């Protein structure tokens, strides 16, 4: 009998070795229609379906011939994942639970390492600089600046932090679902549509609009709950907040509601990390006047906080009741002035393994645009990390990596998923010759012995701040490993 042809390819139709999702859905819909039109047939269809499944399972087991090996599924699971025919017409089965055991760093040879001991050291170092009774808020927004919010939050809380700060409702929910019970403050006012989430997850919002405050209070009161919040005061940054000379009228406008509870009052400094201090001092003066005005009006401002990492380290006079430790928690100095004041340890390292190593003849180019040309006697090595992983394209040809304690120069344009570096194979003077091979580890950010390559170096080249570069590495496709 002639085999029917496939209308798209003209080739004979063949059994693929599995039932496709679309075929299974069509079959289920057909059986459901039959069952609805003839109820008495339901039991018969169920019996036939069970018999067909049993026969298919038996056939699959027979076709396999052997099942198991490193990633094979046991016979009882051969229907879980059946990908392709193998051997003499036999199906190959894979156990998804065993496949999941392959660690992320072995699926792609590039990763981010986070040193939780460094997080602990930085939190403790700042905590020691605070006056007795002054609280520490760990700011873990943007997935803890790319370092992993849940792990960093737990480490900071175990190192003396008492509060957590985030930017979004989703960030707060992630912490709550990780069973973190510390007070969480959203550092901006969320949309009113998120109010049920705030109340359900016990998350405090920042408040600076009367409309949101009343809706928040009404929703809480309807459930017999309190509506705790922190009041944001705009002292000169002019981004968000109630203007510093309007805080008392604002609180009179909303403070009548019995459910509202003012837990804290805060501001944010625009220039605490700048050498010039005039604007900083103006903001400090305005904030103190606003807090005093609240007290004079019979309003308890609650927890008073203003200092970010730079201010917490540089200016003890503005620590107030709590400081907010953001970039400093992850080991980055917020400004040059803090280097002599405190020792901070970077927690993030970025590493990769060589996926290709080749000799490139003299004058031949490398990567898009061929802007780099081989000088000869060099080996060009490829790493599976690119600008989609946070290694910014603007660093092309401008940065160095570490092989052991040897610095190697990145060459050619950094690609979306890969980049290349050059190793000089010539031997001269006292220079040690290295010969990299596929699988060798390379440090993109971090230290090996006394040699170090830092995110700060990249920031200088890109004219940006560590926050941006660290978040780029941490919130990308790179798996994160805690050490």
Alpha helices (H) along 261-349: 278-296, 309-314
- Fill in the DSSP letter of residue 65: S
The pair of three-digit structure tokens given for residue 161, joined into one six-digit string: 């932090």
Question: Is 141 a known active-site residue?
Answer: yes
Identify the burial level of 87 via C-beta atoms within 10 angstroms of its C-beta, where 0-12 means exposed, 13-18 middle and 19 or more buried. exposed
d(CA 273, CA 237): 14
- Give me the catalytic one of 127, 141, 351, 379: 141
**How do strand 322-325 and strand 135-139 relate by DSSP bridges?**
parallel
CA dihedral 222, 225, 230, 231 (to 10 degrees): 40
d(CA 299, CA 291): 9
3-class state of residue 36 by DSSP: helix
Give me the residue label for tokens 């570069």.
Answer: 469
- Fill in the DSSP letter of residue 323: E
> 264-289 in b/e burial notation, b at 16+ Cβ within 10 A?
bbbbbbbbbbeeeeeebeebbebbbe
Give the Cβ contact number of residue 49 at 10 Å: 13
d(CA 186, CA 297): 26
Question: Is 216 a known active-site residue?
Answer: no
Residue 400 pairs with which residues in a beta bridge?
Answer: 409
- Give me the catalytic one of 163, 315, 351, 368: 368
**DSSP codes, 386-435:** -GGGT--GGGTTT-EEEETTEEEEEES---SS-EEEEEE----TTPPP--
d(CA 146, CA 153): 12
Going by C-alpha positions, the residue among 52, 31, 50 that lies closest to residue 41 is: 31
Half-sphere exposure of residue 18: CA atoms within 13 angstroms, side-chain side: 16
The pair of three-digit structure tokens given for residue 160, joined into one six-digit string: 């003396």
Q: What are the residue numbers of the active site? A: 141, 368
């Amino acid at each position: 009998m002639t085999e029917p042809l496939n209308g798209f390819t003209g080739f004979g139709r063949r059994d693929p070795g599995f039932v496709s999702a679309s075929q299974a859905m069509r079959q289920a819909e057909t059986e459901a229609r039959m069952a609805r039109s003839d109820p008495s047939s339901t039991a018969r269809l169920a019996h036939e379906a069970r018999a067909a499944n049993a026969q298919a399972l038996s056939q699959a087991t027979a076709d396999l011939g052997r099942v198991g090996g490193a990633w094979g599924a046991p016979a009882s699971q051969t229907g879980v994942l059946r990908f392709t025919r193998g051997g003499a017409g036999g199906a190959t089965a894979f156990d998804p639970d065993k496949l999941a055991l392959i660690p992320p760093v072995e699926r792609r040879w590039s990763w981010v390492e986070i040193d939780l001991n460094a997080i602990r050291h930085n939190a403790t170092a700042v905590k020691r600089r605070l006056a007795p009774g002054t609280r520490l808020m760990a700011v873990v927004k943007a997935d803890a600046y790319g370092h992993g919010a849940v792990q960093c939050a737990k480490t900071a809380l175990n190192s003396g932090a008492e509060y957590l700060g985030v930017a979004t409702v989703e960030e707060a929910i992630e912490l709550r679902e990780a069973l973190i019970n510390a007070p969480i403050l959203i550092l901006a006012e969320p949309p009113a549509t998120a109010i049920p989430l705030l109340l359900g997850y016990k998350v405090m919002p920042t408040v600076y609009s009367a409309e949101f405050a009343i809706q928040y209070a009404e929703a809480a009161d309807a459930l017999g709950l309190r509506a705790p919040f922190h009041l944001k005061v705009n002292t000169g940054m002019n981004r968000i907040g109630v203007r510093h000379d309007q805080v008392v009228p604002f609180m009179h406008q909303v403070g009548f509601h019995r459910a509202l509870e003012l837990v804290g009052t805060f501001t944010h400094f625009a220039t605490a990390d700048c050498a010039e201090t005039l604007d900083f001092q103006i903001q400090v003066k305005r904030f103190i006047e606003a807090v005093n005005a609240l007290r004079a009006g019979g309003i308890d401002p609650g927890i008073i906080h203003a200092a970010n990492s730079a201010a917490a380290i540089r200016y003890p006079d503005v620590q107030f009741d709590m400081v907010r430790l953001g970039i400093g928690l992850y080991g980055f100095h917020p400004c040059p002035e803090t280097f002599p004041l405190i020792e901070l340890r970077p927690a993030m390292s970025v590493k990769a393994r060589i996926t290709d190593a080749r000799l490139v003849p003299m004058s031949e180019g490398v990567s898009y645009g061929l802007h780099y040309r081989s000088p000869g006697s060099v080996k060009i090595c490829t790493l599976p990390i690119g600008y989609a992983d946070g290694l910014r394209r603007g660093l092309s040809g401008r940065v160095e990596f570490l092989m052991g304690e040897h610095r190697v120069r990145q060459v050619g344009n950094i690609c979306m998923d890969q980049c290349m570096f050059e190793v000089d194979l010539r031997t001269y003077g006292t220079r040690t010759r290295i010969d990299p091979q596929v699988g060798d580890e390379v440090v993109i950010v971090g230290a090996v012995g006394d040699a170090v390559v830092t995110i700060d170096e990249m920031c200088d080249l890109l004219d940006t701040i560590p926050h941006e570069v660290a978040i780029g590495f941490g919130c990308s496709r790179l798996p994160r490993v805690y050490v």
